[in-house]
Amino acid sequence: MGKIEQRVSVSLKSRSYDIVIKPGLIDELGVRLQSLASTERVGIVTDRHVARHYLSAVVSQCKQAGLHPVSIVLPPGEKNKTLATVEKILDVLARERFERKSLLMALGGGVVGDMTGFAAAIYQRGIPFVQVPTTLVAQVDSSVGGKTGVDHRLGKNLIGAFHQPKAVWIDTKFLGTLPKREWIAGLAEVIKYGIIADKRFFVYLERTMPAILKLEPRAVMQIVKRSCEIKAQVVAADEQESDRRRILNYGHTIGHALEALGGYQSLIHGEAVGIGLVLEADLARHQGYCNSKTVDRIRSVVRAAGLSDRLTSPSLEKVWSAMQHDKKVSQGKVVGVWPNAIGRVRIVPIERGTFAEWFKTVSVGGSGRSRYTAKRGQ
Protein backbone atom coordinates (compact mmCIF):
# COMPACT_ATOMS: atom_id res chain seq x y z
CA MET A 1 0.00 0.00 0.00
CA GLY A 2 1.72 3.19 -1.31
CA LYS A 3 4.27 5.18 0.63
CA ILE A 4 2.81 8.58 1.23
CA GLU A 5 0.38 7.62 3.91
CA GLN A 6 0.52 9.37 7.28
CA ARG A 7 -0.51 7.68 10.51
CA VAL A 8 -1.71 9.10 13.79
CA SER A 9 -2.42 6.78 16.68
CA VAL A 10 -5.26 7.29 19.15
CA SER A 11 -3.97 5.59 22.30
CA LEU A 12 -6.76 4.85 24.73
CA LYS A 13 -6.61 2.98 28.03
CA SER A 14 -8.76 0.15 26.73
CA ARG A 15 -7.65 0.01 23.09
CA SER A 16 -5.80 1.99 20.45
CA TYR A 17 -6.63 2.65 16.84
CA ASP A 18 -4.99 4.31 13.89
CA ILE A 19 -5.98 7.24 11.77
CA VAL A 20 -4.58 6.70 8.27
CA ILE A 21 -4.37 9.76 6.00
CA LYS A 22 -3.65 9.16 2.34
CA PRO A 23 -4.78 10.73 -0.91
CA GLY A 24 -6.33 7.93 -3.01
CA LEU A 25 -7.06 5.69 -0.02
CA ILE A 26 -10.53 5.02 -1.47
CA ASP A 27 -8.89 2.53 -3.85
CA GLU A 28 -7.72 0.46 -0.87
CA LEU A 29 -10.96 0.40 1.07
CA GLY A 30 -11.91 -3.17 0.10
CA VAL A 31 -8.59 -4.62 1.20
CA ARG A 32 -8.52 -2.59 4.39
CA LEU A 33 -12.06 -3.62 5.26
CA GLN A 34 -11.33 -7.25 4.57
CA SER A 35 -8.49 -7.20 7.08
CA LEU A 36 -10.75 -5.75 9.78
CA ALA A 37 -14.13 -7.39 9.18
CA SER A 38 -14.98 -10.61 11.01
CA THR A 39 -18.04 -11.28 8.86
CA GLU A 40 -18.69 -10.89 5.14
CA ARG A 41 -21.60 -8.56 5.79
CA VAL A 42 -20.54 -4.90 5.88
CA GLY A 43 -23.01 -2.02 6.21
CA ILE A 44 -22.05 1.11 4.27
CA VAL A 45 -23.90 4.09 5.73
CA THR A 46 -23.78 7.27 3.67
CA ASP A 47 -25.98 10.14 2.53
CA ARG A 48 -27.47 10.94 -0.88
CA HIS A 49 -24.82 13.54 -1.84
CA VAL A 50 -21.86 11.34 -0.95
CA ALA A 51 -23.53 8.30 -2.51
CA ARG A 52 -23.79 10.11 -5.83
CA HIS A 53 -20.02 10.62 -5.95
CA TYR A 54 -18.57 7.57 -4.23
CA LEU A 55 -20.96 4.76 -3.33
CA SER A 56 -20.63 2.62 -6.43
CA ALA A 57 -16.82 2.69 -6.23
CA VAL A 58 -16.88 1.66 -2.57
CA VAL A 59 -19.45 -1.10 -3.17
CA SER A 60 -17.39 -2.59 -6.00
CA GLN A 61 -14.25 -2.42 -3.84
CA CYS A 62 -16.06 -4.43 -1.18
CA LYS A 63 -17.30 -7.00 -3.66
CA GLN A 64 -13.83 -7.44 -5.14
CA ALA A 65 -12.55 -8.11 -1.62
CA GLY A 66 -15.14 -10.89 -1.20
CA LEU A 67 -17.38 -8.91 1.17
CA HIS A 68 -21.17 -8.61 1.07
CA PRO A 69 -21.95 -4.86 1.26
CA VAL A 70 -25.35 -3.54 2.32
CA SER A 71 -25.82 0.15 1.44
CA ILE A 72 -27.85 2.45 3.67
CA VAL A 73 -28.35 5.86 2.03
CA LEU A 74 -29.69 8.59 4.34
CA PRO A 75 -31.18 12.00 3.58
CA PRO A 76 -28.38 14.60 3.95
CA GLY A 77 -28.04 17.49 6.37
CA GLU A 78 -28.13 18.40 10.03
CA LYS A 79 -31.93 18.53 10.11
CA ASN A 80 -31.87 14.77 9.55
CA LYS A 81 -29.45 14.07 12.41
CA THR A 82 -32.28 12.64 14.49
CA LEU A 83 -33.33 9.55 16.39
CA ALA A 84 -35.80 8.83 13.58
CA THR A 85 -32.96 8.57 11.04
CA VAL A 86 -30.94 6.35 13.35
CA GLU A 87 -33.99 4.12 13.65
CA LYS A 88 -33.95 3.73 9.86
CA ILE A 89 -30.36 2.47 10.07
CA LEU A 90 -31.34 0.06 12.86
CA ASP A 91 -34.29 -1.24 10.83
CA VAL A 92 -31.97 -2.22 7.97
CA LEU A 93 -29.46 -3.85 10.32
CA ALA A 94 -32.20 -5.96 11.93
CA ARG A 95 -33.86 -6.82 8.63
CA GLU A 96 -30.56 -7.85 7.05
CA ARG A 97 -29.65 -9.88 10.17
CA PHE A 98 -26.53 -8.01 11.09
CA GLU A 99 -24.74 -9.80 13.91
CA ARG A 100 -22.59 -8.64 16.83
CA LYS A 101 -19.42 -8.93 14.74
CA SER A 102 -20.80 -7.31 11.59
CA LEU A 103 -19.01 -4.09 10.68
CA LEU A 104 -20.47 -0.70 9.76
CA MET A 105 -18.67 1.91 7.70
CA ALA A 106 -19.56 5.61 8.02
CA LEU A 107 -18.90 7.05 4.57
CA GLY A 108 -19.66 10.77 4.80
CA GLY A 109 -19.46 13.93 6.84
CA GLY A 110 -19.99 14.43 10.55
CA VAL A 111 -23.73 13.91 10.29
CA VAL A 112 -23.34 10.43 8.79
CA GLY A 113 -20.41 9.65 11.11
CA ASP A 114 -22.22 10.68 14.31
CA MET A 115 -25.35 8.69 13.39
CA THR A 116 -23.52 5.60 12.14
CA GLY A 117 -21.39 5.57 15.30
CA PHE A 118 -24.52 5.90 17.44
CA ALA A 119 -26.31 3.10 15.58
CA ALA A 120 -23.18 0.96 16.04
CA ALA A 121 -23.14 1.83 19.75
CA ILE A 122 -26.71 0.69 20.40
CA TYR A 123 -27.42 -2.10 17.87
CA GLN A 124 -27.15 -5.36 19.83
CA ARG A 125 -25.50 -3.19 22.56
CA GLY A 126 -22.52 -2.41 20.38
CA ILE A 127 -21.01 -3.52 17.08
CA PRO A 128 -17.76 -2.39 15.42
CA PHE A 129 -17.57 0.49 12.95
CA VAL A 130 -14.98 2.38 10.90
CA GLN A 131 -14.97 6.03 9.95
CA VAL A 132 -14.32 7.07 6.34
CA PRO A 133 -14.79 10.86 6.60
CA THR A 134 -15.51 12.82 3.43
CA THR A 135 -15.78 16.45 4.69
CA LEU A 136 -13.12 18.63 6.27
CA VAL A 137 -15.08 18.78 9.56
CA ALA A 138 -15.19 15.00 9.63
CA GLN A 139 -11.53 14.51 8.62
CA VAL A 140 -10.15 16.90 11.23
CA ASP A 141 -12.64 16.31 14.01
CA SER A 142 -15.81 14.22 14.06
CA SER A 143 -14.34 10.91 12.84
CA VAL A 144 -11.85 10.87 15.72
CA GLY A 145 -12.62 10.38 19.40
CA GLY A 146 -15.83 8.37 19.59
CA LYS A 147 -18.46 11.04 20.28
CA THR A 148 -21.58 9.78 18.51
CA GLY A 149 -25.20 10.85 18.62
CA VAL A 150 -28.06 12.95 17.34
CA ASP A 151 -29.64 16.36 17.96
CA HIS A 152 -32.71 17.24 19.98
CA ARG A 153 -34.97 20.19 19.24
CA LEU A 154 -33.66 21.84 22.42
CA GLY A 155 -29.98 21.14 22.04
CA LYS A 156 -27.19 19.79 19.85
CA ASN A 157 -26.08 16.19 20.31
CA LEU A 158 -28.25 15.81 23.40
CA ILE A 159 -28.68 12.08 22.75
CA GLY A 160 -25.63 9.94 22.18
CA ALA A 161 -22.92 7.62 23.39
CA PHE A 162 -19.17 7.32 23.42
CA HIS A 163 -18.26 4.56 20.97
CA GLN A 164 -14.80 4.51 19.42
CA PRO A 165 -14.28 3.43 15.80
CA LYS A 166 -11.97 0.52 14.96
CA ALA A 167 -10.09 2.75 12.50
CA VAL A 168 -10.30 6.10 10.74
CA TRP A 169 -9.39 6.08 7.03
CA ILE A 170 -8.99 9.52 5.51
CA ASP A 171 -8.73 10.14 1.78
CA THR A 172 -8.04 13.86 1.31
CA LYS A 173 -9.14 13.52 -2.34
CA PHE A 174 -12.74 13.36 -1.10
CA LEU A 175 -12.40 17.07 -0.37
CA GLY A 176 -12.16 17.79 -4.10
CA THR A 177 -15.94 17.40 -4.51
CA LEU A 178 -16.90 19.18 -1.30
CA PRO A 179 -18.90 22.41 -1.82
CA LYS A 180 -16.79 25.45 -0.89
CA ARG A 181 -19.15 26.50 1.90
CA GLU A 182 -18.56 23.12 3.61
CA TRP A 183 -14.80 23.33 3.15
CA ILE A 184 -14.69 26.80 4.75
CA ALA A 185 -16.87 25.62 7.64
CA GLY A 186 -14.31 22.89 8.36
CA LEU A 187 -11.61 25.50 8.79
CA ALA A 188 -13.32 26.70 11.99
CA GLU A 189 -12.50 23.40 13.72
CA VAL A 190 -8.94 23.57 12.35
CA ILE A 191 -8.45 27.11 13.73
CA LYS A 192 -9.88 25.89 17.05
CA TYR A 193 -6.93 23.48 17.50
CA GLY A 194 -4.41 26.29 17.14
CA ILE A 195 -6.19 28.42 19.74
CA ILE A 196 -6.64 25.67 22.32
CA ALA A 197 -3.34 23.82 22.03
CA ASP A 198 -0.74 24.91 19.51
CA LYS A 199 0.46 28.46 18.93
CA ARG A 200 2.85 27.38 16.16
CA PHE A 201 -0.01 25.77 14.28
CA PHE A 202 -2.05 28.96 14.71
CA VAL A 203 0.82 31.00 13.23
CA TYR A 204 1.04 28.48 10.38
CA LEU A 205 -2.68 29.05 9.70
CA GLU A 206 -2.24 32.83 9.78
CA ARG A 207 0.56 32.56 7.20
CA THR A 208 -0.79 29.79 5.02
CA MET A 209 -4.49 30.62 4.73
CA PRO A 210 -4.24 31.61 1.02
CA ALA A 211 -2.69 28.21 0.12
CA ILE A 212 -5.22 26.40 2.30
CA LEU A 213 -8.08 28.20 0.56
CA LYS A 214 -6.67 27.01 -2.77
CA LEU A 215 -6.67 23.43 -1.43
CA GLU A 216 -2.95 23.03 -2.07
CA PRO A 217 -2.26 19.35 -1.33
CA ARG A 218 0.69 19.95 1.07
CA ALA A 219 -1.28 22.48 3.08
CA VAL A 220 -4.33 20.20 3.16
CA MET A 221 -2.26 17.25 4.38
CA GLN A 222 -0.64 19.44 7.03
CA ILE A 223 -3.90 20.79 8.47
CA VAL A 224 -5.59 17.39 8.49
CA LYS A 225 -2.63 15.65 10.10
CA ARG A 226 -1.91 18.28 12.76
CA SER A 227 -5.60 18.54 13.66
CA CYS A 228 -5.85 14.76 14.06
CA GLU A 229 -2.69 14.70 16.19
CA ILE A 230 -4.03 17.35 18.56
CA LYS A 231 -7.45 15.72 18.81
CA ALA A 232 -5.88 12.28 19.38
CA GLN A 233 -3.72 13.65 22.23
CA VAL A 234 -6.63 15.33 23.97
CA VAL A 235 -8.91 12.29 23.61
CA ALA A 236 -6.17 9.97 24.87
CA ALA A 237 -5.84 12.09 28.01
CA ASP A 238 -9.58 12.17 28.75
CA GLU A 239 -11.64 9.84 26.57
CA GLN A 240 -15.07 10.56 28.09
CA GLU A 241 -14.70 14.29 28.71
CA SER A 242 -14.51 14.36 32.46
CA ASP A 243 -12.12 17.29 32.31
CA ARG A 244 -9.47 18.21 29.71
CA ARG A 245 -11.43 17.04 26.67
CA ARG A 246 -13.76 19.99 27.29
CA ILE A 247 -11.16 22.18 25.56
CA LEU A 248 -12.30 20.64 22.25
CA ASN A 249 -15.59 22.39 22.92
CA TYR A 250 -14.08 25.89 22.67
CA GLY A 251 -16.35 27.98 20.41
CA HIS A 252 -19.21 25.52 20.85
CA THR A 253 -20.97 27.00 23.92
CA ILE A 254 -22.20 29.93 21.85
CA GLY A 255 -21.79 28.05 18.52
CA HIS A 256 -24.18 25.21 19.42
CA ALA A 257 -26.67 27.70 20.87
CA LEU A 258 -26.75 29.64 17.59
CA GLU A 259 -27.01 26.41 15.58
CA ALA A 260 -30.01 25.25 17.63
CA LEU A 261 -31.66 28.70 17.49
CA GLY A 262 -31.45 28.52 13.69
CA GLY A 263 -33.37 25.23 13.77
CA TYR A 264 -30.24 23.43 12.48
CA GLN A 265 -30.99 24.89 9.05
CA SER A 266 -29.59 28.41 8.72
CA LEU A 267 -26.04 27.86 10.00
CA ILE A 268 -23.95 24.79 9.35
CA HIS A 269 -21.89 23.47 12.27
CA GLY A 270 -18.51 24.93 11.31
CA GLU A 271 -20.02 28.35 10.58
CA ALA A 272 -21.58 28.42 14.04
CA VAL A 273 -18.26 27.33 15.58
CA GLY A 274 -16.40 30.07 13.65
CA ILE A 275 -18.68 32.70 15.19
CA GLY A 276 -18.27 30.99 18.57
CA LEU A 277 -14.46 31.12 18.36
CA VAL A 278 -14.50 34.91 18.00
CA LEU A 279 -17.33 35.69 20.40
CA GLU A 280 -16.01 33.41 23.14
CA ALA A 281 -12.56 35.01 22.76
CA ASP A 282 -14.17 38.43 23.13
CA LEU A 283 -16.10 37.19 26.15
CA ALA A 284 -12.81 35.91 27.59
CA ARG A 285 -11.34 39.40 27.11
CA HIS A 286 -14.40 40.92 28.80
CA GLN A 287 -13.75 38.66 31.82
CA GLY A 288 -10.08 39.67 31.90
CA TYR A 289 -8.70 36.29 30.78
CA CYS A 290 -6.95 37.55 27.62
CA ASN A 291 -6.04 40.82 25.94
CA SER A 292 -7.55 42.49 22.87
CA LYS A 293 -4.58 41.50 20.70
CA THR A 294 -5.45 37.82 21.20
CA VAL A 295 -9.06 38.49 20.21
CA ASP A 296 -7.95 40.49 17.16
CA ARG A 297 -5.72 37.66 15.94
CA ILE A 298 -8.50 35.11 16.34
CA ARG A 299 -10.98 37.41 14.57
CA SER A 300 -8.52 38.02 11.71
CA VAL A 301 -7.80 34.39 11.00
CA VAL A 302 -11.51 33.49 11.17
CA ARG A 303 -12.30 36.28 8.70
CA ALA A 304 -9.37 35.35 6.47
CA ALA A 305 -10.88 31.88 6.17
CA GLY A 306 -14.10 33.46 4.89
CA LEU A 307 -16.10 32.75 8.03
CA SER A 308 -18.44 35.17 9.78
CA ASP A 309 -17.69 36.57 13.24
CA ARG A 310 -21.09 38.17 13.90
CA LEU A 311 -23.71 37.17 16.42
CA THR A 312 -26.85 35.98 14.59
CA SER A 313 -29.43 36.42 17.36
CA PRO A 314 -30.26 39.73 19.05
CA SER A 315 -31.98 38.03 21.97
CA LEU A 316 -29.97 37.65 25.16
CA GLU A 317 -32.75 35.50 26.65
CA LYS A 318 -32.78 33.09 23.70
CA VAL A 319 -29.01 32.70 23.47
CA TRP A 320 -28.56 32.28 27.25
CA SER A 321 -31.43 29.82 27.42
CA ALA A 322 -30.03 27.74 24.51
CA MET A 323 -26.66 27.70 26.29
CA GLN A 324 -28.31 25.95 29.28
CA HIS A 325 -28.43 22.76 27.18
CA ASP A 326 -24.66 22.66 26.71
CA LYS A 327 -23.18 19.40 27.98
CA LYS A 328 -20.52 21.29 29.93
CA VAL A 329 -23.24 22.76 32.21
CA SER A 330 -22.48 21.64 35.74
CA GLN A 331 -24.72 22.13 38.78
CA GLY A 332 -26.79 24.51 36.70
CA LYS A 333 -23.81 26.70 35.79
CA VAL A 334 -22.73 27.36 32.22
CA VAL A 335 -19.04 26.44 31.95
CA GLY A 336 -16.97 28.02 29.19
CA VAL A 337 -13.57 27.41 27.60
CA TRP A 338 -11.71 30.72 27.48
CA PRO A 339 -8.42 31.57 25.76
CA ASN A 340 -5.71 33.04 27.98
CA ALA A 341 -3.46 33.46 24.97
CA ILE A 342 -3.10 31.75 21.61
CA GLY A 343 -2.42 28.06 22.40
CA ARG A 344 -3.67 28.18 26.00
CA VAL A 345 -7.20 28.03 27.45
CA ARG A 346 -8.86 27.82 30.86
CA ILE A 347 -12.21 26.28 31.80
CA VAL A 348 -14.34 28.43 34.12
CA PRO A 349 -18.10 28.92 34.76
CA ILE A 350 -19.74 32.15 33.73
CA GLU A 351 -22.57 34.00 35.50
CA ARG A 352 -25.61 35.29 33.68
CA GLY A 353 -24.87 38.88 34.79
CA THR A 354 -21.40 38.81 33.21
CA PHE A 355 -22.78 37.33 30.00
CA ALA A 356 -25.59 39.93 29.90
CA GLU A 357 -23.16 42.84 30.40
CA TRP A 358 -20.96 41.57 27.56
CA PHE A 359 -23.94 40.82 25.31
CA LYS A 360 -24.90 44.53 25.33
CA THR A 361 -21.53 45.38 23.77
CA VAL A 362 -21.76 42.95 20.84
CA SER A 363 -23.03 44.00 17.45
CA VAL A 364 -25.53 41.65 15.87
CA GLY A 365 -25.93 41.14 12.15
CA GLY A 366 -25.74 39.08 9.00
CA SER A 367 -26.80 35.52 8.35
CA GLY A 368 -23.72 34.09 10.04
CA ARG A 369 -22.95 32.11 6.91
CA SER A 370 -19.52 32.05 5.38
CA ARG A 371 -18.64 34.11 2.32
CA TYR A 372 -19.38 31.00 0.28
CA THR A 373 -23.08 30.34 0.45
CA ALA A 374 -23.35 29.28 -3.17
CA LYS A 375 -25.29 26.17 -4.05
CA ARG A 376 -23.62 22.77 -3.98
CA GLY A 377 -20.93 22.17 -6.54
CA GLN A 378 -19.97 25.84 -6.89
Ligand X SMILES: NC(=O)c1ccc[n+]([C@@H]2O[C@H](COP(=O)([O-])OP(=O)(O)OC[C@H]3O[C@@H](n4cnc5c(N)ncnc54)[C@H](O)[C@@H]3O)[C@@H](O)[C@H]2O)c1
Using CB under 6 A, list all residues that contact ligand LNCXM5UN. Answer: 141, 145, 147, 156-157, 189, 241, 245, 248-249, 252, 327
147 is in an annotated binding site: yes
d(CA 18, CA 125): 23
Q: Please, what's the b/e burial string for 167-193 (b: 16 or more CB within 10 A of its CB; e: otherwise)?
A: bbbbbbbbbeebbbbbbbbbbbbbbbb
Minimum CB distance to ligand LNCXM5UN smaller for 85 or for 157: 157
Q: Is 206 in the active site? A: no
For the CB of residue 21, give the shortest distance to ligand X in the complex, in Å.
15
24 is in an annotated binding site: no
79 is in an annotated binding site: no
294 binds, among ligand X, ligand LNCXM5UN, none (CB under 5 to 8 A by kind): none
| Window 73-112: residues binding ligand X (CB under 6 A) | 76-78, 81, 108-112
- Tell whether residue 269 is a contact of ligand X (CB under 6 A): yes
User: CB nearest ligand X: which residue?
Assistant: 110
Q: Is 249 in the active site? A: yes
**Could you say which of 88, 252, 286, 297 is catalytic?**
252
Contact 181, 370 (CB under 8 A): yes
3-state secondary structure of 368: coil
Alpha helices, DSSP H, located in the chain: 29-36, 48-50, 56-64, 83-95, 110-122, 136-137, 180-197, 199-213, 217-237, 252-261, 269-286, 292-304, 316-323, 352-359
From residue 176 to residue 215, the character string flagging contacts with ligand X as x (rule: CB under 6 A) and all else as - is -xx---x--x------------------------------
Nearest-CA neighbor of 333 among 318, 342, 317, 320?
A: 320
DSSP states of 11-66: E-SS-EEEEEE-TTGGGGHHHHHHHH-SSSEEEEEEEHHHIIIIIHHHHHHHHHTT
Contact 174, 134 (CB under 8 A): yes
Q: Is 147 in the active site? A: yes
d(CA 174, CA 51): 12
- Tell whether residue 326 is a contact of ligand X (CB under 6 A): no
Q: Which positions ≥6 away from 242 have C-beta within 8 Å?
A: none
Q: Is 181 in the active site? A: no
Which range touches ligand X (CB under 6 A), out of 59-67, 92-100, 170-178, 334-342?
170-178
CA angle 200, 201, 203 (to 5 degrees): 65
Q: Which of 270, 276, 336, 339 is in the footprint of ligand X by CB under 6 A?
A: 270
- Tell whether residue 271 is a contact of ligand X (CB under 6 A): no
- Tell whether residue 163 is a contact of ligand X (CB under 6 A): no
| Window 107-136: residues binding ligand X (CB under 6 A) | 108-112, 114, 134-135
- Tell whether residue 47 is a contact of ligand X (CB under 6 A): yes
**Could you say which of 41, 49, 269, 286 is catalytic?**
269
Q: Is 13 in the active site? A: no
Burial class (CB in 10 A: 0-12, 13-18, 19+), 227: buried
Contact 159, 152 (CB under 8 A): yes
Nearest-CA neighbor of 26 among 2, 7, 47, 9?
A: 2
Applying CB under 6 A, which residues contact ligand X? 47, 49-50, 53, 76-78, 81, 108-112, 114, 134-135, 137-138, 141-142, 145, 147, 156-157, 174, 177-178, 182, 185, 269-270
Binding residues for NAD(+), by number, are: 110-114, 134-135, 147, 156, 174-177
* Residue set of the binding site for Zn(2+): 189, 252, 269
Residues annotated within the binding site are: 110-114, 134-135, 147, 156, 174-177, 189, 252, 269
**Residues noted as catalytic:** 125, 147, 189, 231, 241, 245, 249, 252, 256, 269
